[in-house]
């Protein structure tokens, strides 16, 4: 029973520490939006040599 109480106490301390850290100093994301890729322009610039209709528009 003592091990269960100690484990519960350690888990509570760790969870409280995590919660306090996330509430006071949360991590900041450095992600940013990526420009859109124009797939139509890439297809046209590929200029397939076979000229099949399914290769480009």
For the chain, give the number of residues. 57
* Mean local confidence (pLDDT), 8-30: 93
Gyration radius of the chain over CA positions: 28
- In eight-state DSSP terms, residue 34 is P
Which pLDDT does position 12 carry in this prediction? 98
pLDDT of residue 3: 95
- The CA distance from 29 to 35, in Å, is 18
Q: In this predicted model, which residue has the larger pLDDT, 28 or 41?
A: 28
Residue 47 has pLDDT above 90, yes or no: no
Q: pTM for this structure?
A: 0.49
């Amino acid at each position: 029973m003592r091990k269960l109480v100690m484990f519960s106490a350690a888990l509570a301390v760790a969870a409280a520490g995590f919660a306090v850290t996330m509430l006071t100093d949360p991590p900041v994301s450095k992600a940013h939006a990526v420009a859109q890729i124009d797939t139509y322009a890439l297809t046209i610039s590929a200029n397939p040599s076979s000229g099949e209709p399914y290769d480009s528009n």
